[in-house]
Amino acid sequence: MQLALKASELLEQTKLSELRTSIARSLSELEMFTEERTAISEIMGDLVTAPLPVEDALVSLFDCSDQTLQQRVIETYISRLYQPHLVKDSIQLKYQESGVIALWEFAEAHSEKRLGAMVIVKSLESVSAAIGAALKGTSRYASSEGNIMHIALLGADNQMHGTEDSGDNDQAQVRIDKLSATLEQNTVTADLRAAGVKVISCIVQRDGALMPMRHTFLLSDEKLCYEEEPVLRHVEPPLSALLELGKLKVKGYNEVKYTPSRDRQWNIYTLRNTENPKMLHRVFFRTLVRQPGASNKFTSGNISDVEVGGAEESLSFTSSSILRSLMTAIEELELHAIRTGHSHMFLCILKEQKLLDLVPVSGNKVVDIGQDEATACLLLKEMALQIHELVGARMHHLSVCQWEVKLKLDSDGPASGTWRVVTTNVTSHTCTVDIYREVEDTESQKLVYHSAPSSSGPLHGVALNTPYQPLSVIDLKRCSARNNRTTYCYDFPLAFETAVQKSWSNISSDTNRCYVKATELVFAHKNGSWGTPVIPMERPAGLNDIGMVAWILDMSTPEYPNGRQIVVIANDITFRAGSFGPREDAFFETVTNLACERKLPLIYLAANSGARIGIADEVKSCFRVGWSDDGSPERGFQYIYLTEEDHARISASVIAHKMQLDNGEIRWVIDSVVGKEDGLGVENIHGSAAIASAYSRAYEETFTLTFVTGRTVGIGAYLARLGIRCIQRTDQPIILTGFSALNKLLGREVYSSHMQLGGPKIMATNGVVHLTVSDDLEGVSNILRWLSYVPANIGGPLPITKSLDPPDRPVAYIPENTCDPRAAISGIDDSQGKWLGGMFDKDSFVETFEGWAKSVVTGRAKLGGIPVGVIAVETQTMMQLIPADPGQLDSHERSVPRAGQVWFPDSATKTAQAMLDFNREGLPLFILANWRGFSGGQRDLFEGILQAGSTIVENLRTYNQPAFVYIPKAAELRGGAWVVIDSKINPDRIEFYAERTAKGNVLEPQGLIEIKFRSEELQECMGRLDPELINLKAKLLGAKHENGSLSESESLQKSIEARKKQLLPLYTQIAVRFAELHDTSLRMAAKGVIKKVVDWEDSRSFFYKRLRRRISEDVLAKEIRGVSGKQFSHQSAIELIQKWYLASKGAETGNTEWDDDDAFVAWRENPENYQEYIKELRAQRVSQLLSDVADSSPDLEALPQGLSMLLEKMDPSRRAQFVEEVKKALK
């Protein structure tokens, strides 16, 4: 790294020398005679706006012998420093014996003209005289506030022109010190003060390849002298004002280190507290954004799409300028490997911007935009968001927490003026953008930040020159979370909002929509613990006093535009490393129970260190040791004790017995340490058991999903598994014990990282993790996408949306020899790039468990906008990678082939797990069956293939949603594989179909003929069908009857055998073909084992209609069972629905009217068709309940009292109505 930095410095020195030469040539008279004739004024203008270290190169030319060139260099230098405040044509140069003198005027907006002066001298002895000469005739500026004097000391008497930087630095510093002493002379100070000079800049010229040394001295009103301001060192005063370096005087930091960027465009300041090295140091990047014209010959080039990851849309002129500068700073951070807790970037755009400069370039199209403040706000916010989208991830990784842009807008309307855009990088993909205007406060007469939008930003009302504040608690916590490579828990609601907003991006452009509203859940009591309820509360972030936080998120999603609720609970990694103590456990259990009660999805954001460990610090600080020999501690000890005074103070923290020594001393020998703080030991794992039970139950009662956003350890890892559904970030582990602890247990260095134990290479391939993501926003986006398949309340209606993929579209993907499962599900692009659609909606399939048991494909998709679970079969041979365990010396990595179309223990378990998940989520199930059977080898049986296959049966038997088994085109289903998914397992729910070319049987044809069409039977078939064999057999029989010669009979027998041998391959094929005819889908339909033959091309539209029909049936059946009672079976409800439907159509049972899916759906969608039946069922149920009461004498006696209690609970109007209705019924 050091070598790379040194090489980079040498390269920059070379570039500076080249720039110096280029400037000298461009500004010299020689340039006027070249073929590319350019006006000197234009060249000077190009240098003023060039994004290069022009100032340093110009200073190195101050001592050039060509007076004309020297004059142009000085004028260009002054113009560059004072842009845009320089008064036009005000620069005057004088040549004196003491040196060169330059005078000019400059003025900021709405302020009087001020004086700028520069003296360029070769010797320190000439400084006083030069200053005196420069200030002659400037009395009219004496009353001005803030006149500036520049003193440039040339290198004529500098004897060190070598290449040693340190030597040149030393020599330059000596000259600065002498120059400082000159400024302390009373006569010089008096002259400067009399001229109204408030600021003095001292420049010491060094070797042309090195930066000049700059120091700034400010007038002290108290001491009436000029003192150096270290913060302003290295930067000229006009530029330091634009860079707002005065704001770097941050409370709590006593050291400022300056570092220029390699291109000298960024000024980098590192703030440290030398008295407290542990205090987070901060880095401030400051730059002036210069925007050269297209014809400027002094440019550094433009950014390419590669550098920013490929921008999808063109950038505006202003955005490009900002992004170019940010990219330079980002590269600087990456090159120098600067790692800070908090970095801030400030960019000041010198040139006035038009509102059109903020509009992204779109060809030659002329855009007409408003000139009002609201338009400016919108354009500035969009600019910041677009830049963040391009480089936010890199900036967040490099701890750039905030960047601010200052720019002036030149507008014909209210938008004209100076603006500030402050962007806070909350996460790598989420940010907050605050827009401010610079306005003058009427009371303090100072310029302040004024929020442009209606809502006030955090800097609203703060003076522009106010130093940056010490980091807030939230900033420190964000830094801590970032050090743990995760997102601060309180920033996740914003991540959810960003992800929801992106989910709407292709659907709606409504920017006024409220996407997410987060309401925090807290204990009802301050010291809440087990049994304390939680309540919603609006409070600022970071006020939690336990290491766990939770919210109810109200989200407006494309599936639920009017809103849906989810419960989110997260570890706070910044609170005791996110560990689980008793209060955290109690809070987790209470929030989990709340989600179960309300049937709301529960999302757990895991980033923790497992169960909390601790010791009693109050005992640790004062315990004593009872030595075996007080004079020789090395001989060991007998007990640990407390003195009588300490025991009296902390007796509640220990269990101890009293001991009195012979000398009368009383000692309290510690038998047990209890500790005053709850959460030191076993109580933590006691609580861990409670939350393990609660989260496991939550999987059965509601939707649970764990997102591993940070390392998760111990009980955290168990929760990730107990919630079943799990998303893991690729850089975060799921472990039971840290690798260092395991190494100590094993007695040697075996494991080198947590990722080696529980990274995605392990957890995504063993069935623990469903999905892996690269960052937190991708994780949250996947959570939302998963939720898009799940009802708002578990057990409620499915989130059905309008599909952009027409449901009646034919299936365009046609399998040839084998059926590609993913292409069959979601389609595929052909060789010409044309999309060939599959059975389900385009881009709707989300595969889970992709890395585990690859011979089966599972995931969620949509069919006509209806969410479904899908299980399909891989037909290719897949390789299972079994990693080596470093803990076992004889272990090595193995790659095991897994044949396609076969269930192995892991793939059968994956199938069963997917069924269980889909059923819990209320999803209809589609099985695209294409199995030849189960693997039955010794190892497979040992690893539990029988158990896994049996679990498939059990999970399908208990499946409570519509289920469809379909043998697709070019697929087959045989033997035990058919058994475990047959419709007989759950006839109320499963419908079985097959494609016309599908095959199914107990055995494959080749195996069947080995048993049912053996060689003897093949020969009989030949003898029955082959004319030649029939003829030969007839001849042989005739020869035997006619007592022919033995040789003739033998000859005929040999001919017969030869013929059989010749025909055997052919008749084997015939036998196979004959066996195949037993496998057809037509036979399946004829035997009633499938419901219907469905052609592949029509399967999408057919199953869409069947799915709508089945869902409609289920919705109505569920309502009927709710009215009639649980004893009413699903099948009974369906039969009742059929009766009602046919009655409404005037048809008889068994009529084909019942098979019309579209007609039934239309009938069910009109409640008037069956509401009277529902009322009748409800009346029958109440009647049955009253009959049961009447049959029981005790219940009958309690009836009046029960009615009285019921009437008391009713409101008066409802009570009166009920009484009247009862009276009518009694009459």
User: pLDDT tens across 474-496, in order?
Assistant: 999 999 999 899 999 999 999 99
Given this model, what pLDDT does residue 367 score?
64
CB 871 within 8 A of CB 925: yes
CB 464 within 8 A of CB 446: yes
d(CA 566, CA 577): 26
Residue type, 686: H
d(CA 1138, CA 861): 30
- Can you tell me the mean pLDDT for 894-909? 92
Given this model, what pLDDT does residue 333 score?
85
Residue 156 has pLDDT above 60, yes or no: no
Q: Which two tokens stand for residue 47?
A: 């240098």
Given this model, what pLDDT does residue 610 score?
94
Superfamily of domain 481-614+681-786: 2-enoyl-CoA Hydratase; Chain A, domain 1 (3.90.226.10)
Rounded to 5°, the CA angle 86-87-91 comes to 85
**Fold agreement between 481-614+681-786 and 800-995:** yes
Band (pLDDT 50/70/90 cuts) for residue 162 is very low
Band (pLDDT 50/70/90 cuts) for residue 534 is very high
- Can you tell me the mean pLDDT for 879-902? 84
Strand pairing category for 147-153 and 197-204: parallel
Q: Which long-range contacts (CB under 8 A, 24 or more apart) does 945-951 make?
A: 945/903, 945/904, 945/905, 945/908, 948/903, 948/905, 948/908, 948/909, 948/911, 948/912, 949/903, 949/908, 949/976, 949/980, 951/908, 951/909, 951/912
- Can you tell me the mean pLDDT for 1196-1220? 86
Residue 832 has pLDDT above 50, yes or no: yes
Given this model, what pLDDT does residue 117 score?
93
Of residues 2 and 1063, which shows the higher confidence score? 1063
Given this model, what pLDDT does residue 165 score?
41
- Can you tell me the mean pLDDT for 817-834? 92
Considering the chain, what percentage of its residues have pLDDT values greater than 70?
Answer: 93
Residue 1094 has pLDDT above 50, yes or no: yes
Rounded to 5°, the CA angle 552-572-683 comes to 100
Band (pLDDT 50/70/90 cuts) for residue 810 is very high
Given this model, what pLDDT does residue 305 score?
41
d(CA 562, CA 368): 35
If you average pLDDT over each of 260-274, 280-294, 769-783, which comes out highest? Answer: 769-783
Comparing 42-56, 220-234, 531-545, 1142-1156, which segment has the lowest mean pLDDT? Answer: 1142-1156
- For all residues of the chain together, what is the average pLDDT? 88
Of residues 1008 and 459, which shows the higher confidence score? 459
Instruction: Lay out the sheet containing 925-928: strands in order across.
Output: 846-848, 856-863, 866-873, 925-928, 963-967, 990-994, 1092-1093
Band (pLDDT 50/70/90 cuts) for residue 208 is low
Band (pLDDT 50/70/90 cuts) for residue 310 is very low
Band (pLDDT 50/70/90 cuts) for residue 301 is low
Residue 749, SS3? coil
Q: Which two tokens stand for residue 504?
A: 């709407």
Band (pLDDT 50/70/90 cuts) for residue 52 is confident
Residue type, 707: F
Give the residues across from 227 on adjacent strands: 218
Of residues 182 and 498, which shows the higher confidence score? 498
Comparing 535-549, 588-602, 1125-1139, which segment has the lowest mean pLDDT? Answer: 1125-1139
CATH of domain 800-995: 3.90.226.10
- Dihedral pair phi/psi, residue 15, rounded to 5°: -65, -40
- Can you tell me the mean pLDDT for 403-410? 94
Residue 363 has pLDDT above 60, yes or no: no
d(CA 105, CA 82): 9
Of residues 471 and 513, which shows the higher confidence score? 471
- Can you tell me the mean pLDDT for 731-755? 89
Of residues 110 and 302, which shows the higher confidence score? 110
Given this model, what pLDDT does residue 22 score?
86
Residue 1113 has pLDDT above 90, yes or no: yes
Residue 960 has pLDDT above 50, yes or no: yes
Residue 35 has pLDDT above 50, yes or no: no
- Can you tell me the mean pLDDT for 293-316? 61
- Can you tell me the mean pLDDT for 564-593? 97
Q: Tell which residue, 146, 155, 55, 135, has the closest CA to residue 107.
A: 146
If you average pLDDT over each of 82-86, 641-645, 1215-1219, 1222-1226, which comes out highest? Answer: 641-645
Ranges of each domain in the chain: 2-239, 266-471, 481-614+681-786, 800-995, 1007-1079, 1099-1167
- Can you tell me the mean pLDDT for 497-501? 93
Considering the chain, what percentage of its residues have pLDDT values greater than 90?
Answer: 56
| C-alpha separations of 529 from 151, 271, 521, 572, 1109 in Å | 70, 42, 14, 17, 49
d(CA 210, CA 168): 9
Residue 1152 has pLDDT above 80, yes or no: no
Given this model, what pLDDT does residue 536 score?
96
Residue 169 has pLDDT above 70, yes or no: no
Residue with tokens 């014809």: 295
Residue 513 has pLDDT above 90, yes or no: no
d(CA 93, CA 72): 10
Residue 726 has pLDDT above 60, yes or no: yes
Comparing 427-431, 939-943, 1156-1160, which segment has the lowest mean pLDDT? Answer: 427-431
Comparing 370-379, 695-704, 851-860, 882-891, which segment has the lowest mean pLDDT? Answer: 882-891
CB 105 within 8 A of CB 89: no
